[in-house]
Every structure is written in structure tokens, then in C-alpha cells.
A and B are shown apart, each in its own frame.
Chain A
Amino acid sequence: MTVKYNADKRIPHPAKWAVLYRSSTPFWDGVKEKKLMLQRCKQCGTWLNPPRPMCPKCHSTESEWVASSGKGKIYSWVTYNEAPDPAFKTPYAVVLIELEEGPRLVSNLADITPEDIRIGMPVEVTFEDVAEDLTLPKFKKAG
């Protein structure tokens, strides 16, 4: 159930928030290169998701970015039948993916129809250039 966009409307761009919270910059830089990057505390290994400047467990500010396998399972989902933003054509689904590594990520689906969506369904990441200046990670059936 690929999200279809209205070509004349602007898709909300993450740069708007990335400027505010620079901790997330490596995530979006990774997406541009079609990599799914995750932030991890260098000191105690805790996943920092969503990205943040300080480890909530050990309060270290040293972190590292590692590439995710991109594999995970659908943890939950929601289908929009009325678009909250004019850029999106309905219906479309928003899924919560639990990655192999542990962190959960909100995303869209690339090739799965609403009837097929199941909690626990194995999926893997794919990248879609949705606008000239915007690539988004999305998920498709694994394998």
C-alpha cells in the first residue's frame, strides 16, 4: 500500500525539525545514501531512538551511528482514510516497525495492501525518492 502523493502539494520535509534537533542529522544523511542508521551510546551500548544528545541511562554524550540490517516486523499500524495533510492521497497506512536490533521506527509501506497487513509480518527496508530533495525509508515484504 504505497503512499501516493498529490504532486502539487509539498510533502512535510524533515529538515524543518532536523534544524531544531541536530542529533537526528546522521539519520537523514544516512537515508540520503539509502542506509538506515541507528544511534547507540558509545559507553553503555543503549540504543538512542529517536536520536538525542545524551544517553538516558548513563548520561554519556558520546554516541556512535551504526547501520541497521533494515529487517524487522510490523509491530502495529494505522490506516488513514482521510488525509490530515493535503500532500497525501488516501487511503494509506502508517506502520510501526520493530527492527531486529530492537528500536522501533514509524514508516510507510512500499508494496503491501491493507488486507495483507498483519502484526508480526516480516518486512525489510527500502528507500523511495518521494521528492527532488527528499528520500524516505519505507518497508516491504521480507525476502
Chain B
Amino acid sequence: MVKLIEGIPVMRPYVDLDNQGYWDAIKNHKLVLQHCNNCNKFIHPPRPMCPGCRSQDTLEWKESSGRGIIYSFIMFTSPKMAYPAYELPYAVVLVEMEEGSRICANTHEIEPDEIYIGMPVEVMFEDLPDGQSVFRFKKREA
């Protein structure tokens, strides 16, 4: 349900060596999460060192199942406090993935009044007119 307004740029991510794998995967329509093989835990957002075991060489990218549930969300309803590239209202959801990490995203084909905490969702990808790819969450059967 995010509708772009023409002429206003959608911000592109700041890519560095620590998060490049994450953003590259999104370009290929895959959602990956950083995983520490030593602790067997997922870490998000990506970083150069595992906060659990302080290892810097046991981190790798693992593809996420793409499934999760909405943990919290907000609805941007006023132009005063929103990013002007999108038509109002638009939602931002915080999704708790099956892997345990929580990820922020916009929604796809979910009406504002449908969203609730606990709603099962799954990832989908979209290519924007400016050439960048983004991921969003859509409804799924529980």
C-alpha cells in the first residue's frame, strides 16, 4: 500500500562492507540475515562483530524463510511528520521473523485497518522506478 509520489527520491541505503551482503541479496529478491555460526544465532542489523562471542570470522549470510508476524507497527497519517515520497497514510511494520530477528518494512496490499499485532506476514519484493529493489510484507495464512 505504499504509493510513491513522483519527483521525490526514495532514499537509497548507505552500503558499507558490513551490510553489503544484505543489500546485494535484496537486489536479487532474497532476504538474508547475518548469522553467527559460533553462537548459532541471527544478528540484525548486520555488524562486523558478533555481540555474543565477539568473533569476527564466524559471521555469514543465511537466507531467511521470509515469514514472520507483526510485532508492532505505526501509521503515518500527517504530512508534518512523514517522509514526503509516499502517499499518506502509509504503514511501517516491525516484523518478528521466524529466525527471531525483528525487521522494519512497509506493507504490500494490506489495508490500514487490517493491520494488527500478531498478524502473520511474508516477504515480497518490488523493483522501484528508480532501479532499486525493496522488500515489503504481505499477508499470509497462519
Q: Do A and B touch each other in the complex, judged by CB within 8 A? A: no
